[in-house]
Amino acid sequence: MASFITCTTLFTLMIFIFLITPSLVVTDAKFSEPKASHDVEKMSHLHFYFHDILSGEHPTAITVAGRKSKFGGTAIIDDPLTEGVKHGSKVVGRAQGMYAMSSLDASSLLMVMNFEFTEGKYNGSSLSVLGRNPFLETVREMPVVGGSGLFRFARGYALAKTVRYNAGTGDAVVEYNVFVMHH
């Protein structure tokens, strides 16, 4: 009997709280206000090389889960982005994020990365890429889903083409052509 009264009292209290809570909310405050944007959207084309280095004393990609070339293998990256294909070319940014072997047949990666630019006009700005990279294809397309700085509200796509690959070390150089709409 005592537990029935306790349950009934608790249930009544919950109903009361549920009903009274909406009346406590301030109704004249504005959470958001529409704002007309007079910014003109631009299309930008960026071209750079992504150096994914798994070997040596200073790798820029490290496998953190699974085996690197098998389903589930996951790597964290902080890869240099350069103007030219050579490793010593001028660094214009970093690709920071991760990739994971996302197909059972080990033919595609899930890419989750930010291109953080550190030189020139886009210094301090970034682009976010999230998508499937079927790396066995000659040219792969991945979506650009956002950005920061000069790339705020960015959307577009990145075309990736492997220009160098060392099967023994896993090191690769990938050419990127990125096309983005932004304010």
Domain boundaries, the chain: 42-182
pLDDT tens digits, 138-166? 999 999 999 999 999 999 999 999 999 99
- Taking residues 22-41, report their average pLDDT: 66
| Cα–chain center distance at 173 | 19
What pLDDT sits at residue 87? 86
**Termini Cα distance of the chain:** 67
Cα gap 18→21, rounded to integer Å: 6
pLDDT tens digits, 40-56? 899 999 999 999 999 99
Cα gap 121→97, rounded to integer Å: 23
- Taking residues 118-144, report their average pLDDT: 97
Mean pLDDT of the chain: 88
CATH 3.40.50.720 fits 42-182, yes or no: no
pLDDT tens digits, 73-103? 999 999 999 999 998 999 999 999 999 999 8
